[in-house]
Structure 1
């Protein structure tokens, strides 16, 4: 009879009855167990009766550590219901419950993410993010779980906290993009695209990309066209989609050009004078270490030096920008440094052309202006094409930056 009254009190939140029962039998909470090994705390949390939960935890906090027959903890139940007040109370008693797995190998963070309970999820993530990285059935991540259950809110929270998991694959080689396409989750696909969270289209163990899966699935006319357009862009991504790798490549190119320019400055074409002397042909006295071509071809050598200086300075500026770029505005620094690398490449090409004119007897009559024309003919169209395609991405990013900054400006 007491068990039935205790169960009813926990279900409807009758605190007065609970207190009366405990006055009659102070050990009642310890000895009573309901079906599936649930205790009174499990029942109260499941029905959202905060007053009962507080009273029970005040009397016997050890009940929070008990599991039911399915290995479900009190925190699992609070996460499923989305009760952040109870979740905080339980975490204060036993923060290690974040790690506990139920019969489906899910910990409370997985449950909160799957149910879309953002407040509880954020509370647990503040305590520890590592439990959220635990893998589920067939190697799936908590992000896969969010996609399967259509929980964009908890998905975005987890992506911000666990960015490295975005490109994770399960045991079948399936990425979040594969899952989103299978579940016809256009919002997830758009979010991944807008925030540049995926590097590229990858193939699963069956050799299929997300675009292949989309083309093979039953077409939803409301989402198919938009989703296909996005996935095609992933197949041909801009440099900003793989920014870390592009930054490394740009840095290597800038360092290489700076090294070449420095070497050309200390070892000019034609070499340097070994001893002091007088050049009778030019009627000019020279010192040891001076460039031979400075006397033989003074005009072209001056152009060589100018081009080499531009190459060295622009490449070192690119190195400086890339090495000081912050994570939030990295794309801005990379965009600017790319322009300097282009300039340094064109300048080092001009340096090379001047070297050929000065040192090759067959090119004595070849004017340095022709070298510049050849360089412009080669670099001009290439840079123009890159700018056309790259500037679209830059404009989009500038617009996003302005949108973020403008509300702050208005607030100020």
Structure 2
């Protein structure tokens, strides 16, 4: 670049620019990409000389496409420095320059975010919203840069402008969302904003299968001292219903099967109701021989089985209705306690209906088959109830073991904190003693 032209760009001297162009009309047309210092447009954009930039573009608009040795356009430099007027001028001359990428794969919007230039970012996003969704070479999006460089205001501007759930939940090359990064970097304000104002799924897993709560658990495990930020993060994640990656299976399973469960529970409730008002064998049609019309024939012919049938049928009816109520209540099934209740209700429903069915078969079977059917039914129910009991006990043991493990982990953290506090107190005491000794020597 001509030395006089370079100095004029640094000073923003339009008069000298015109003198140079008058002497050499092609001086601005001999600028090529790859120059170390860039073009006069780069220099003026860097130093914030808006009038100089306007005049250069009037003389040669194609300079907006020239890149320096780092593949930066003039808009890259203006965005990084926060020169709003220059950015507007450059965009007016060439809107597509918003998509220009430097050697690290960053466009002007990325640099504006990294430097926290919210006013420039607003102008760039309005001019070219598509540029905000361009990923860098390692897969990071512009929202990842907001969190990586702790630019909450830039993040708010982007979320409010580009109202897209997919945009906020975008993943980088390792599958991390901005929620993962906010937890990993202990950015409590970003975390609060994402969980309260942005439509972000708190339980998205990265490429390693870890959720935000998994990352938090690792931070908590490695923590050797008390940290108010960590405690605040834990409260926010718990309120949002965050879960561990290993528990994602049942959380993802329920929404897919919710409609099926509703249909099954409704059918069971219908069958149980019908069996309750019209038991196997029907009801008496007249008032004679000690019975009344409408009473169950089964109650007289099988008095020892009828109460068991009613109990099993009623249990199945009530638990199926409870399942329907639970599914339609809008309760947060991201909390495992509600899923456990739902599973137990379904177990009770199916088990109760199995018992009611077995009794019904015995009642309606001819006498010639009652003995064999009775044995078969007893064996089948015994196997079924044993299997359900084993599954229930196994689940209880697993939950108790998990509770003990979490309690042990909290105990270790508490011991670390206590140990650190003791050492800190001892050091404070020794420091005080040392100061006292020095004071005594001074007095002597």
Same fold (TM over 0.5): yes
Measured after TM superposition, the shift of residue 46 of structure 1 is 0.9
1:199 equivalent among 199, 203, 222? 203
* Partner residue, 1:95: 95
Worse-superposed segment, 88-97 or 149-158: 88-97
8 Å CA contact retained: 1:201, 1:209: no
User: 5 Å matches for 1:115-194?
Assistant: 115-159=115-159, 161=162, 163-164=165-166, 170-171=172-173, 176=178, 179-180=181-182, 183-194=185-196
CA distance 1:151–1:239, change in 2 (3 Å): closer
Corresponding position of 1:377: none
Does the 8 A contact of 1:180 with 1:189 survive in 2? Answer: yes
Where does the alignment leave 5 or more consecutive residues of structure 1 unmatched? 323-330, 363-412
1:268-347 correspondence runs (5 A): 270=279, 284=293, 315=324
Q: Deviations over 1:26-85 (max 9, x none)?
A: 433213569516112111111111112222223322111121222111221222122333
Evaluate the alpha carbon distance shift between residue 197 and residue 14 of structure 1 in structure 2; reply closer, same or farther with a 3 A threshold: farther
CA change 1:177–1:39 in 2 (3 A) is same
Query: What pairs up with 1:10-29 in 2 under 5 angstroms?
Result: 10-29=9-28
How far apart, in 2, do the equivalents of 1:215 and 1:309 lie? 44
Q: What pairs with 1:18-97 in structure 2 (closer than 5 Å)?
A: 18-32=17-31, 35-36=35-36, 38-97=38-97
Offset at 1:138?
Answer: 3.9
2:215 to 180, 200, 209: 209
* Structure 2, gaps ≥5 residues long: 363-444
Instruction: Tell me which structure has the larger Cα radius of gyration.
Output: 2
Match of 1:260 among 251, 255, 268: 268
Q: After the TM superposition, which of the residue ranges 189-198 and 35-44 deviates more from structure 2? A: 189-198
| Cα deviation digits, residues 160-217 of structure 1 (max 9, x gap) | 5454365555445655456445645343344345456532686959998344246547
CA 1:229–1:27 in structure 2 vs 1: closer, same or farther (change >3 Å)? same
Partner residue in 1 for 2:382: none
Task: Find the residue that maps to 1:105 and give its secondary structure.
Answer: coil
For 2:85 and 2:294, locate their aligned partners in 1 and report how far apart those are by CA, in whole Å. 90
When residues 234 and 158 of structure 1 are mapped into structure 2, their CA distance, relative to the original with a 3 A threshold, is same
Distance in 2 between the 1:93 and 1:253 partners?
60
Distance 1:193-1:59 versus aligned 2 partners, 3 A rule: same
Per the TM alignment, residue 101 of structure 1 is displaced from its structure 2 partner at its CA by 1.3
Equivalent residues, number: 338
Q: What per-residue deviation string (whole Å, max 9, x for no partner) do you get for residues 224-263 of structure 1?
A: 6233224545786764889987655655544443343345
2:402 aligns with: none
Distance across 2 between alignment mates of 1:271 and 1:26 = 105
Measured on the aligned residues, the alpha-carbon RMSD in Å equals 5.6
Deviations 1:368-387 (A, max 9, x none): xxxxxxxxxxxxxxxxxxxx
Q: 2:149 & 2:71 partners in 1: Cα distance?
A: 22
Contact 1:98 1:131 in 2 (8 A): yes
Q: Tell me, in whole angstroms, the C-alpha distance in 2 between the residues paired with 1:292 and 1:136.
A: 77
Contact residue 133 and residue 142 of structure 2 kept, 8 A: yes
**Structure 1 position 120, deviation (Å):** 2.7
